[in-house]
Amino acid sequence: MNNSENASRRADVIIIGAGPSGIFCAYELKKQRPDLSIVMIEKGRSIEKRICPKRKTGVCAHCQPCSITTGFSGAGAFSDGKLSLSPDVGGNLPEILGYEEAAKLIHESDEIYLEFGADPGIYGIDKQEEIDEIRRRAIIADLKLIECPIRHLGTEEGYKIYSRMQDHLAEIGVEMIFQTSVKNIIVENGQAIGVVTDKGETFYGKEIVSAIGRDGSDWFSHICEEHHIETKVGTVDIGVRVEVRDEVMKFLNENLYEAKLVYYTPTFDDKVRTFCTNPSGEVATEYYDDNLAVVNGHAYKSKEFKTRNTNFALLVSKNFTKPFHTPIEYGKYVAQLSNMLCDGRILVQRYGDLRRGRRTTEERLYRNNLMPTLKDAVPGDLSLVLPHRILVDIEEMLKALDKVTPGIASDETLLYGVEVKFYSNKVMVDRDFETSIKALRAIGDGASVTRGLQQASANGLSVARSILKAGRV
């Protein structure tokens, strides 16, 4: 056998990425057709090897690839693990499949999480009087409260749940190849027929599923450009992570766990939303390719890991028009400015200092009642990083939120920058999530189809059924 034959292999379905959308796709394919050969290729590590040294040492070791953003279960699952159980939150499945079908898939994927050990408790469904009061306050402040039941996995419990899923996929015959990147997709006569990895291997498949997540969105954008896959410019989500004392957020945390609030700012009419609330959680750093540091947040189920602070993101959604076509590069550019000022770390500023137009110093920071949970964050000035328009949007949103839960707009509130959600240029897909290239399907966050764990998981179930319906395998 010659070297080229030895370096090529065949499978029925090749899944690029081992995040929730890829996991649930493989799970459903094997459930319906145990005879299928499925290869899942993931550039990160298997879940038992996803260990971040910084959690013990406090110092980032710049692991390549980053164990927080890559590996089995993906980035979002390994951070906080919140499942949004409403089609109104977390992506575009209702637009593609219809509201009822999206709701059905979300319910089915939720049942699978429960089978693998998710907490049966749900936030946001049993305290209607309190939720009505939160909605009343939101209306007064011109905020829209989006009601969404939440199932919270928790960082450490999510690890256990996804560990069971990884073991299950291995047991039913899904081949999972870790620490291997897909360099390119092979396209012949308008149809995807395989992939080439960075290890020099070629895998041929009857169906290719791109489930690359946010970390792979930049790569997939270039793949789309090279193969002329139809896309359109997606939304840029950019902003800060806010940290306050638990006492400030107590009413919202106890009754909703995560209050999803949307605001259209009076000055620019820009959309700003709260995202990924972590009661008693900690602010964390995520590293993407080229050691780009962006901010995120975690929350644990176990009391021993809880802090006294709540953190959440404020994200400004920007939709650009032609000739702009590089939303990922734009987000990276803003994050790089922050990294430049902070030697590759995360910048933190007191809201009071931002309002007064001055940088936060270590002396001002450490006289706060509120201490930062991200210990290596660098005090600085967000006005040197974020565009003026985005800063105005964030300040106006904080003032509106202060009417719902007083204390958010206090001087000592901490703002960490920059938080960016790297969605790809939006890949154009049909109802079966097939791109303009035949047999290439794009799903999950990396294709700008979803924006969260639950819809990504539901998307995996949906595309598995589409693959079976197409009859190529």
In 3D space, the residue among 29, 456, 52, 7 whose CA is nearest the CA of residue 217 turns out to be 456
Whether pLDDT at 414 is above 80: yes
Per-residue pLDDT at 421: 84
Whether pLDDT at 77 is above 70: no
Whether pLDDT at 337 is above 80: yes
Q: How far apart are CA 347 and CA 345, in angstroms?
A: 7
Which of the residue ranges 179-183, 236-240, 302-306 has the most confident prediction, judged by mean pLDDT? 179-183
Could you count the other beta carbons within 10 Å of the beta carbon of residue 212?
Answer: 32
Per-residue pLDDT at 5: 43
Q: How far apart are CA 113 and CA 20, in angstroms?
A: 11
Per-residue pLDDT at 211: 96
Whether pLDDT at 79 is above 80: no
Q: Give phi and psi for 60, each to the nearest 5.
A: -70, 130
Residue 100, token pair as written in the block: 């009822």
Residue 356, Cβ density class (10 Å: 0-12 exposed, 13-18 middle, ≥19 buried): exposed
pLDDT grade, residue 374 (50/70/90)?
A: very high
Least confident among 129-143, 206-220, 287-301: 287-301
In 3D space, the residue among 169, 228, 231 whose CA is nearest the CA of residue 29 turns out to be 169
Query: Contact 161/113 with Cβ under 8 angstroms?
Result: yes
Q: What is the mean pLDDT of the chain?
A: 92
Q: How far apart are CA 135 and CA 72, in angstroms?
A: 38
Query: Contact 187/205 with Cβ under 8 angstroms?
Result: no
Per-residue pLDDT at 423: 67
Whether pLDDT at 2 is above 50: no
Query: Contact 442/221 with Cβ under 8 angstroms?
Result: no
Q: How far apart are CA 287 and CA 295, in angstroms?
A: 9
Could you count the other beta carbons within 10 Å of the beta carbon of residue 145?
Answer: 20
pLDDT digits (tens, 9 = 90+) for 341-362: 999 999 999 999 999 999 999 9
Per-residue pLDDT at 325: 77
Query: Contact 155/299 with Cβ under 8 angstroms?
Result: yes
Per-residue pLDDT at 58: 66
pLDDT grade, residue 424 (50/70/90)?
A: low
pLDDT grade, residue 146 (50/70/90)?
A: very high
In 3D space, the residue among 71, 67, 66, 81 whose CA is nearest the CA of residue 151 turns out to be 81
Per-residue pLDDT at 96: 96
pLDDT grade, residue 426 (50/70/90)?
A: confident
Q: How far apart are CA 15 and CA 473, in angstroms?
A: 14
Q: How far apart are CA 165 and CA 459, in angstroms?
A: 17
Map out the domains of the chain as residue ranges: 3-118+153-232+427-470, 128-149+235-421
CATH assignment, 3-118+153-232+427-470: 3.50.50.60
The residues near 42 (Cβ < 8 Å, ≥ 6 apart) are 17, 18, 22, 70, 71, 72, 176, 177, 178, 179, 180
pLDDT digits (tens, 9 = 90+) for 82-126: 899 999 999 999 999 999 999 999 999 999 999 999 999 998 888
How are the residues of the chain apportioned to helix, strand and coil, as percentages rounded to the nearest 5? 40, 25, 35
3-class secondary-structure state, position 225? helix
pLDDT grade, residue 65 (50/70/90)?
A: confident
300 versus 187: which is more confidently predicted?
Answer: 187
State the number of CA atoms in the 13 A half-sphere of 178 facing the CB: 18
State the number of CA atoms in the 13 A half-sphere of 189 facing the CB: 0
Whether pLDDT at 55 is above 80: no
CA angle 6, 8, 9 (to 5 degrees): 110
Query: Contact 218/422 with Cβ under 8 angstroms?
Result: yes
Query: Contact 337/385 with Cβ under 8 angstroms?
Result: yes
